[in-house]
């Protein structure tokens, strides 16, 4: 070994350690950015449920790092949205104190309720980085939550990419327009200021980091991080079989069922997912902008391929998504898109169905997937259904981020009442009862809802809620898997379908605005996840524990698991 070699090796090691320190520091910067948003937000969706995203970008719009706190739908679509901001306002035109905003579903994160904000970090007259963040506001005007609109014009206030602050001075006209168009102006304006604050904190911490590391810009470290993530993702893809696999899923839709059709190709160049054959757009707000399709498709892949690789421009680039324009997964303007999560959050399951064929034994079964958010409001009229009575009630609007069960996992049962793939937390019932006249009478596991299998699907839940003042309220339903439950895999059975009704017994629709009469209780039963493997092969101790804990009834143990074939089984006692 030549005398120079140890010096080269030591220098390379020192450079790697230095880069790792800067990477860890960037993660702490964006996580503090996200936590600032949680601490300062007015809306419960952000401060209680974590329905947000935060990240730092190079001046050309490529994402370097994202906060762990947040949702895939926000993070992965925000990763592309910053590029749209730069087309409208090039980095060379940005100045210290500028702040930019949009809720454009096609250039943001998929619907008008999500506000995306971008703030430049300027040093020596040059933009060295961009901070972006997103949150879901409680109201955006229009007809309100739910998929009832037929065009985006019905769904609320549409803000194109615009400058909200100019050199530190607020654009008061924009704030006035927002106040005039939303039902909860204090909360919405408060959330906008929270976005401003979180990006400002990110910029402040980044400047401190750059001073400590002696950085004039982020170009070198950003390129290194993105390149390393890209190379790691390429290596992870290479470890999987190459080929093309197909999967199809049928879900409820609004008035008629929807087909989601995918072909997934793994090659040395990366992963291509093609949704050709999926249903066309519909005249209701369940259509999905392409950015949201990209977000949850890539997330589904990353759950299984490269799950431990940082999520940034480098690791996202090898995953390419095609959806024909005009399909429900690439809805053009001005399609209605408010409840795009209903279909978009099914896409990881669609992708899993392809990957299960590529590599058996490592892929979960289907789950309830899309959120079962309970969206209730009072003091607002519903045409043709007791409008006068509604107007006499107390005005409120809440969203409870309710969930069903996930699919069984290889070697493990599914997770009960777990928010996958969105990752948002539920808002506690105590908080919801504090900000509204609601009382939650029941919130419990739904027995027998997990699909039977060697590994059982996760359970859904039963929620019973009423207006304590006896006034009627409006339910904005945006739910799926009432007609087509989560399918099991490898001999496992399907999970239970969802159901929504009044306590008096009247069934309600899974989608659309509906009246809950005064004095009635709303009963929501969320779906369960599918099972994996032959139910007869389930471990007897696990089945006995399910029986003892009330997760599986004696009737299902007999019907689905064949437990009655084992005479004297003490688990049934």
pLDDT single digits (tens) 452-499? 999 999 999 999 999 999 999 999 999 999 999 999 999 999 999 999
User: Which residue is it, tokens 């059982």?
Assistant: 456
Query: Which of 30-34, 377-381, 526-530, 540-544 is the least confident region?
Result: 377-381
pLDDT at 144: 86
Q: How high is the pLDDT of residue 19?
A: 85
Q: How open is the CA angle 503-507-508, to the nearest 5 degrees? A: 105
Nearest 5 degrees, angle CA 548-CA 443-CA 114? 130
| Calpha distance 142→153 (Å, rounded) | 8
Residue 303 near residue 249, CB atoms below 8 Å: no
Report the DSSP pairing between strands 319-322 and 270-274.
parallel
* Residue 398 predicted with pLDDT over 80: yes
Tell me what percent of the residues of the chain surpass a pLDDT of 90: 85
β-bridge mates for residue 475, sequence order: 376, 514
The CA-atom distances, in angstroms, between 316 and each of 62, 65, 76, 77, 231 are: 10, 12, 8, 11, 11
pLDDT (0 to 100) of residue 395: 87
Q: How far apart are CA 321 and CA 332, in angstroms?
A: 16
CA distance 433 to 435: 6
Once rounded to an integer, what is the mean pLDDT over residues 366-375? 95
pLDDT per position as a tens digit, 222-276: 999 999 999 999 999 999 999 999 999 999 999 999 999 999 999 999 999 999 9
pLDDT-derived band of residue 3, with 50, 70 and 90 as boundaries? very low
Confidence tier at 394 by pLDDT (50, 70, 90): confident
Helix axes 72-88, 290-304, angle to 10 degrees: 130
- Is pLDDT of 180 > 70? yes
Is the per-residue pLDDT at 8 higher than 90?
Answer: no
Give the confidence band of 308 by pLDDT, cuts at 50, 70, 90.
very high
| Residue 486: Cβ-neighbour burial (10 angstroms; 0-12, 13-18, 19+) | buried
Tell me what pLDDT residue 312 has. Answer: 95
What's the pLDDT score for residue 505?
Answer: 95
Identify which of 62, 121, 131 has the alpha carbon closest to the alpha carbon of residue 312: 62
What's the whole-number mean pLDDT along residues 51-67? Answer: 96
Beta strands in 169-209 (DSSP E): 169-170
Q: Decide if pLDDT at 4 tops 90.
A: no
Confidence class for position 12, pLDDT limits 50, 70, 90: low
Question: What pLDDT shows up at residue 382?
Answer: 56
Q: Are 416 and 450 in contact (CB under 8 A)?
A: yes
Mean predicted confidence (pLDDT) in 63-67: 96
How does DSSP classify residue 424? P
Question: Per-residue confidence at 69, pLDDT binned at 50, 70, 90?
Answer: confident
Distance CA 403, CA 445 (A): 11
Q: What is the C-alpha to C-alpha distance for residues 322 and 287, in angstroms, rounded to an integer?
A: 16
| DSSP 3-state of 263 | strand
Report pLDDT for 9: 47
What local confidence, expressed as pLDDT, does residue 171 receive? 98
If you average pLDDT over residues 383-394, what whole number do you get? 62
């Amino acid at each position: 070994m030549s005398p120079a070699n140890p010096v080269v090796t030591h220098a390379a090691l020192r450079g790697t350690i230095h880069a790792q320190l800067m990477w860890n520091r960037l993660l702490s910067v964006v996580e503090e950015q996200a936590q600032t948003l949680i601490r300062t937000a007015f809306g419960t969706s952000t401060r209680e449920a974590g329905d947000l995203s935060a990240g730092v970008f190079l001046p050309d719009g490529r994402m370097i790092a994202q906060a762990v706190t947040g949702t895939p739908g926000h993070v992965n679509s925000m990763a592309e949205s910053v590029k749209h901001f730069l087309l409208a306002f090039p980095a060379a035109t940005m100045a210290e104190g500028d702040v930019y905003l949009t809720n454009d579903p096609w250039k943001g994160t998929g619907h008008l309720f999500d506000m995306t904000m971008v703030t430049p970090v300027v040093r020596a007259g040059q933009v060295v980085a961009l901070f972006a963040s997103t949150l879901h506001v409680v109201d955006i005007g229009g007809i309100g939550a739910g998929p009832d609109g037929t065009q985006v014009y019905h769904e609320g206030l549409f803000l194109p990419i615009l400058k909200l602050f100019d050199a530190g001075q607020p654009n008061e006209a924009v704030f006035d327009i927002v106040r005039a168009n939303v039902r909860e102006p204090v909360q919405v304006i408060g959330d906008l200021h929270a976005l401003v604050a979180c990006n400002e904190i990110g910029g402040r911490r980044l400047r401190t980091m750059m001073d400590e590391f002696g950085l004039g810009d982020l170009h070198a470290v950003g390129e290194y991080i993105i390149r390393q993530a890209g190379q790691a993702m390429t290596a992870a893809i290479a470890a999987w079989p190459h080929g093309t696999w197909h999967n199809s899923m049928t879900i409820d839709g609004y008035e008629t069922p929807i087909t989601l059709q995918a072909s997934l190709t793994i090659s040395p160049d990366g992963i291509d997912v093609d949704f050709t054959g999926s249903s066309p757009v519909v005249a209701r707000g369940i259509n999905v902008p392409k950015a949201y399709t990209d977000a949850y498709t890539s997330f589904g892949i990353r759950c299984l391929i490269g799950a431990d690789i940082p999520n940034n421009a480098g690791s996202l680039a090898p995953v390419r998504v095609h959806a024909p324009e005009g399909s429900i997964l690439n809805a053009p303007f001005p399609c209605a898109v408010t409840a795009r999560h209903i279909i978009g959050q099914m896409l990881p399951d669609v992708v899993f169905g392809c990957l299960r064929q590529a590599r058996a034994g490592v892929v979960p079964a289907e789950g309830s997937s899309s959120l079962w958010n309970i969206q209730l409001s009072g003091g607002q009229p519903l045409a043709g259904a007791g409008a006068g009575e509604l107007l006499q009630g107390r005005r409120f609007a809440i969203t409870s981020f309710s969930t069903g069960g996930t699919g069984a996992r290889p070697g493990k049962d599914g997770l009960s009442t777990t928010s996958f793939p969105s990752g948002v937390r539920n808002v506690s019932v105590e908080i919801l009862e504090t900000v509204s006249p609601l009382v939650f009478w029941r919130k419990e596991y739904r027995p027998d809802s997990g699909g039977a299998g060697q590994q059982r699907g996760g359970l859904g839940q039963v929620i019973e809620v009423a207006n304590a003042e006896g006034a009627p309220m409006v339910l904005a339903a945006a739910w799926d898997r009432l007609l087509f439950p989560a399918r099991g895999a490898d001999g496992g059975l399907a999970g239970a379908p969802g159901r929504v009704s009044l306590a008096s017994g009247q069934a309600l629709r899974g989608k659309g605005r509906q009246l809950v009469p005064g004095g009635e209780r709303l009963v929501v039963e969320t779906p369960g996840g599918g099972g994996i493997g032959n139910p007869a092969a389930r471990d007897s101790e696990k089945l006995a524990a399910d029986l003892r804990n009330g997760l599986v009834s004696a009737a299902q143990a007999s019907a689905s698991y064949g437990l009655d074939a084992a005479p004297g089984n003490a688990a049934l006692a």
